[in-house]
Structure 1
Amino acid sequence: MKMPLLEVKDLKVHFPTDKEFLSKEESVVKAIDGVNFTIYENETFGLVGESGCGKSTTGKAILRLIEPVIGEVIFKGKDINKISRQEMRKVYKDMQLIFQDPYASLNPRMTVGKLIEEPLIVNSNLTPNERKERVAELLEVVGLNAYHASRYPHEFSGGQRQRVGIARALALNPKLIIADEAVSALDVSIQSQVLNLLRKLQREFGLTYLFISHDLSVVKHISDRIGVMYLGRIIEQGTKHSLYEKPLHPYTQALFSASPSIKAENRKERIVLKGDMPSPANPPKGCAFHPRCFAATSKCKTVQPELRDVGDGHYVACHLYNE
């Protein structure tokens, strides 16, 4: 039986906004409004949804780069939202982040060797020679060469820079890696190479991934289970096979119908949604998706559906299945 490595329970991140003129109330932007999911050891959990739905904020809140207002983040059995910043530094050895933009996340004034060595200097007792050997080993692991250590980030292509970012994330032998749109800035041909590298590293080092992306084909390729987010909440969750073969939530159905397919038999009739995603500063009452939903009922306008198991670990937050 797989053991849970990470459990996220009722996680909420609200950002205060300026008070409106002559208003006594301070409004908030509900970037995340009660997110729940579990990631098991050695699996990849994909988080997918439209831009602005709260995917990246969820990743940052798990790492406490953004402080949540409420909720639990249980990592290896410990709620890391209740520990001090000093204790959190020790947790970061086991939790690492791969950024979306490989160039912006690398200091242009430091060589690649120094960039990868930096976490080793701060968090290990290795000697300078041992650190140099570790850097060379990490570069080889991600498909680069030891002589690349003396080069600067601008001397690499986008795919190579992302490999450097992956090497840096691997430096401290983490248990969990959060990949935030890790391949979205790369060409399609390079995306597949980086995805295959991530899967190879997962097998070799027993890694666990939280893979955040808006690209459905990418998420399907790398994930074991997937959570679909809409306006700060997960509205459907299941294995990639159950989700792609039989999406239940109307939003998931619309999202997947827009995904192109090479095979004619896999192509679905496009479901076009009306309007745009509502503002998280003023979310609709009831189900947040109801203003755009083609199957909405009167109940959807007043009652927020709960995320419930509808069988075989497939969860959905929709009144069509919650009766």
Structure 2
Amino acid sequence: MSELLLEVSGLKKYFPITGGLLGGVKGEVKAVDDVSFHVRKGETLGIVGESGCGKSTTGRLLMRLIEASDGKIVFEDKEITSMSMSELRKIRRDIQMVFQDPYASLNPRHTVEKILEEPLIVHGIGTKEERKRRVHEMLEVVGLSSYHARRYPHQFSGGQRQRIGIAKALMTKPKLIIADEPVSALDVSIQAQVLNLMKDIQKEFGLTYIFISHDLGVVRHISDRVGVMYLGRLIELADSEELYENPKHPYTKVLLSAVPTPDPDIKRETILIKGELPSPANPPLGCAFHTRCSECMDICKTTRPVGQGENGHFVACHLYNKE
């Protein structure tokens, strides 16, 4: 087993709801609610779930782009959550992010060379000549050419812009890359190219990924382990093949039943989910999924399930409670 790179325990992010004439706090949105997991060096952890489940908020918490309400984030035995901004800047050399919309994350007024050089300038890395050489090297790595450095983001296709976003994340030689829906805005054929590029880069540079997506097909292609989130909670976590072949949580089964299969001879029953997604401002008592679950029991309505783990397969569901 490779050593731990990142360990997250009890992570929470509650956003206050304000309103009224005096602008007082009326409640809170539990965007991330007591999430724990770890990531080992060299692996890819996929985090999946429908819109509003808290997966993107989790990614931003790990970078401390937003501050956690509670919990600990430990990167290489250093606790990020209690660091000062000056200490955090050093850590951010090792943790970089690839965003969903490559056009929104690239400054339209700057050339590609200036965009890619910026992280090196911020962290005081290299001379001007060394930075320029690094820019050209990273463009080649992601399948572009050095002459692209003189162009602006609007002169590239969506797939090329995402390659530039990946090159930017690689500039500081990070150890961990958090990819937040990095291919969801791209055509299917381009998605495959970018995913294969990310896998090749991972092997070449020994990278570790946290890959966030709503698409279980995409996540299966790239992930070693997969975590499923629902309404701010991590409800199942297992090795990729184990999760796809032997899902345990009723919600995971629903998600997987909707994933199309390329083999027309395989007939898969689609599991219909009832009801609407509850509001994270007013989550259900007990199990968050109980209002939509076909296997709901009385205990599910009142008691939050404790996560059970066996052979690396974690599930938070009363169906598997051994007590």
Secondary structure of the 1:27 match is strand
Identity score, percent: 60
What is the distance in 2 between the residues matched to 1:114 and 1:210? 27
Deviation at 1:85, TM superposition (A): 1.0
Deviation at 1:128, TM superposition (A): 1.0
1:321 maps to amino acid: Y
What is the distance in 2 between the residues matched to 1:195 and 1:163? 10
Give 1:110's aligned residue: 110
Output aligned runs, 1:74-223, within 5 Å: 74-223=74-223
Structure 1 residues 219, 125: CA separation in 2 closer, same or farther (over 3 Å shift)? closer
Deviations 1:242-296 (A, max 9, x none): 1000100000001100111112454420111111210000000000100100000
Deviation at 1:201, TM superposition (A): 0.4
Structure 1 position 235 matched with structure 2 position 221:
no
Q: Is the 8 A contact 1:19 1:27 kept in 2?
A: no
Structure 1 position 313 matched with structure 2 position 309:
no
Give 2:49's aligned residue: 49
1:198 maps to amino acid: M
Deviation at 1:25, TM superposition (A): 6.9
What is the distance in 1 between the residues matched to 2:130 and 2:180? 30
Give 2:293's aligned residue: 293
Unpaired runs of at least 5, structure 2: none
1:221 maps to amino acid: H
Structure 1 residues 110, 148: CA separation in 2 closer, same or farther (over 3 Å shift)? same
Secondary structure of the 1:320 match is helix
Deviations 1:174-193 (A, max 9, x none): 00000000000000000000
What is the distance in 2 between the residues matched to 1:20 and 1:263? 55
Structure 1 residues 267, 60: CA separation in 2 closer, same or farther (over 3 Å shift)? farther
What is the distance in 1 between the residues matched to 2:266 and 2:119? 45
Deviation at 1:124, TM superposition (A): 2.9
What is the distance in 2 between the residues matched to 1:171 and 1:75? 20
What is the distance in 2 between the residues matched to 1:52 and 1:90? 31
What is the distance in 2 between the residues matched to 1:33 and 1:230? 10
Deviations 1:201-242 (A, max 9, x none): 000000000000000100000000000000001100001111
What is the distance in 2 between the residues matched to 1:306 and 1:256? 23
* Greater Cα offset, 261-270 or 107-116: 261-270
Deviation at 1:83, TM superposition (A): 0.8
Secondary structure of the 2:320 match is coil
Deviations 1:127-173 (A, max 9, x none): 11111111100100000000000000011000000000000000000
2:319 maps to amino acid: L
Q: Is the 8 A contact 1:260 1:267 kept in 2?
A: no
Root-mean-square deviation (CA, aligned residues, Å) is 1.5
Secondary structure of the 2:319 match is coil
2:135 maps to amino acid: V
Structure 1 position 260 matched with structure 2 position 284:
no
What is the distance in 1 between the residues matched to 2:149 and 2:172? 18
TM-score by length of 1: 0.97
What is the distance in 2 between the residues matched to 1:168 and 1:18? 37
What is the distance in 2 between the residues matched to 1:66 and 1:24? 21
Deviation at 1:98, TM superposition (A): 0.1
What is the distance in 2 between the residues matched to 1:222 and 1:266? 23
Aligned length: 322
What is the distance in 1 between the residues matched to 2:205 and 2:25? 51
Structure 1 residues 125, 179: CA separation in 2 closer, same or farther (over 3 Å shift)? closer
Output aligned runs, 1:62-77, within 5 Å: 62-77=62-77
Unpaired runs of at least 5, structure 1: none
Secondary structure of the 1:61 match is helix
What is the distance in 2 between the residues matched to 1:79 and 1:56? 21
Q: Is the 8 A contact 2:18 2:25 kept in 1?
A: no
Secondary structure of the 1:18 match is strand
TM-score by length of 2: 0.97
Structure 1 residues 36, 48: CA separation in 2 closer, same or farther (over 3 Å shift)? same
Q: Is the 8 A contact 2:73 2:81 kept in 1?
A: yes
